[in-house]
Chains A and B, each alone.
Chain A
Amino acid sequence: NAGVTQTPKFQVLKTGQSMTLQCAQDMNHEYMSWYRQDPGMGLRLIHYSVGAGITDQGEVPNGYNVSRSTTEDFPLRLLSAAPSQTSVYFCASSRPQGVFYEQYFGPGTRLTVT
């Protein structure tokens, strides 16, 4: 199993550009989520999904969109990048909601918006 994979590993965007961060998992996990990590703030939840076709907002959803058309993939879209979105982004997955298994994290994407 590859686990949770994220692409790209690094990305530089100009303000106003859009892009999609890719996340995939091969563990047949129903739950997937996106977090951003900023210095001194820990990780904060952006969006999450409890299954294909179901998504919901987390703590800091503004400026981001998600969709979940398959169990395996959970892309995160930045609609119009802003310098405040400079961060490290982590995707995670776990077994079904209600069981509270540990989440498996991808390696992260370091995004810089200039």
Chain B
Amino acid sequence: AQKVTQAQTEISVVEKEDVTLDCVYETRDTTYYLFWYKQPPSGELVFLIRRNSFDEQNEISGRYSWNFQKSTSSFNFTITASQVVDSAVYFCALINQTGANNLFFGTGTRLTVIP
């Protein structure tokens, strides 16, 4: 079985603050992929990153960074110097090697950046 837990339901930060969104996953597969998607107020789902289970290197893309730790089954997402445009719901998701391309989503974290 697989499960993705995003324990933070809602987070509010003041603009320019850093914020970390937590994601903890469970899977029995040794090969899997982790994803982060952003859902802005307009409602579409925007792909942010994919990480496979064999690559534990942290990744940075502009103000975004991701920390993948297999030892704690976590794939956390940090936004540095947050901006109002970062306000959205963020989803962490998992694909197992044995599960076709089916994404298992967490319940999402709603981030509000206050100007």
Contacts and interface: CB of A to CB of B under 8 A. Distances in A.
B92 to A, nearest CB: 9
Contacts of B93: 43
A50 B100 CA distance: 8
B105 A103 contact: no
A100 B52 contact: yes
A30 to B, nearest CB: 9
B60 to A, nearest CB: 18
A68 B20 CA distance: 40
Interface residues of A, number: 26
Contacts of B95: 100
Contacts, number: 59
Contact of A31 (B37, B91, B100): B100
A97 B101 CA distance: 6
A58 B108 contact: no
B40 to A, nearest CB: 12
A94 interface: yes
Contacts of B50: 100-102
A58 B91 contact: no
B46 to A, nearest CB: 8
A105 B45 contact: yes
A103 B44 CA distance: 13
Q: Which 8 A-B pairs have the closest CB atoms?
A: A42-B105, A105-B45, A42-B107, A43-B105, A102-B47, A100-B33, A31-B101, A97-B100
